[in-house]
Copies of this chain bind each other. A is one copy, B any other.
Amino acid sequence: MFVRLSFVAALLIGLAFAPAKPRRVIFFGDSITQAGVKPGGYISRLTEMLGKQNKGADYELIGAGIGGNKVYDLFLRMDDDVLAKKPDLVFVYIGVNDVWHKRTHGTGTDPDKFLKFYEAIIRKLQAANAKVVLCTPAVIGEKTDFSNEQDGDLNQYSTMIRELAKRQNLPLCDLRQAFLDYNLKNNPENKASGILTTDRVHLNDTGNQFVADLMMKYL
């Protein structure tokens, strides 16, 4: 009788003191996300920010970005790079190359297929019980007068993502809108780069911090 009691007590004590399993968060994307795990990258910054809030042990942030990736590349490698890691939460941050490569390589993604693959990714993530945050592709050019060459197309794909989030009642991290709002305030000379990006697409220090701040709200 004594033994049994002490066993149950030990068990209860053990449960109480066991460190909670940290929340595993995967950032799934392209070269912007690949750079996010470097020092100063948006994922590294998120990790640091969580540390300063004494939440370092509560989260495990994993970068799963590969340069040049489009939506179908994510679908192809998601079993190995995402599902196998059993994430609790996945940020899907894709779309720049799907639009950009139309012009530079002739190998962008048609809008209807972009949507089809995006939906397939969400289905597989949800089937694996992962929460999903959708992100709009931020910029290909930071000019604020809508004269960046592929603004129209990037708006089209961002609108598709926004409508998809609404339709499926999923959280949306609207980077594109946030970048535009920021540039309208901070880019009075209508520059194509140098505000939040180094080269019209990839994030500079300010841009990495900006994205980290935006994404923090969804953790």
Contact with B along A97-134 (1 / 0, CB 8 A): 00001111111111001001100100000000000000
Looking at A46-54, A84-92, A153-161, the stretch in contact with chain B turns out to be A153-161
Once the chains are docked, how many angstroms separate the CA of A109 from the CA of B113?
A: 13
Contact at B120–A145, with CB atoms within 8 Å?
no
Q: Judge if A7 is at the interface, Cβ distance under 8 Å.
A: no
The answer to the question of A75 belonging to the interface, with a C-beta cut-off of 8 Å to chain B, is: yes
Choose from B104, B146, B154, B156 the contact partner of A155 (Cβ within 8 Å): B146
Contact of A156 among B105, B113, B149 (CB under 8 A): B149
| A149-B145 CB under 8 A given contacts A107-B107, A120-B76 | no
Contacts of A183 in B (CB 8 A): none
Minimum CB–CB distance from A125 to chain B (whole Å) comes to: 15
The interface residues of chain B lying within 8 Å CB-to-CB of A73 are 113
| Closest CB in chain B relative to A190 CB, distance in Å | 10
Q: Of the candidates B76, B149, B156, which one forms a contact with A116 in the assembled complex, judged by CB atoms under 8 Å apart?
A: B76
- Please, how many residues of chain A have a CB less than 8 angstroms from a CB on the other chain? 32
In the bound complex, how far is the Cα of B106 from the Cα of A149, in angstroms? Answer: 12
Given contacts A76-B75, A102-B103, A108-B106, contact A145 B155 (CB under 8 A): yes
Given known pairs A76-B72, A105-B110, the reply for A155 and B147 (CB within 8 Å) is yes
Neighbouring B residues of A120 by C-beta, 8 Å:
76
Which of chain B's residues have a CB closer than 8 A to the CB of A187? Answer: none
Q: Mark A129-150, 1 if CB is under 8 A from B, else 0.
A: 0000000000001000111111
- Expressed in whole angstroms, the minimum distance between the Cβ of A112 and any Cβ of chain B is 9
Once the chains are docked, how many angstroms separate the CA of A117 from the CA of B107? 15
Q: How far is the CA of A145 from the CA of B145 in the complex (A)?
A: 13
Most chain B CB within 10 A, of A75, A151, A152, A159, is at A152
B146 engages A151 (CB within 8 Å): yes
5 closest residue pairs by CB, A with B: A151-B152, A102-B106, A147-B155, A147-B156, A72-B72
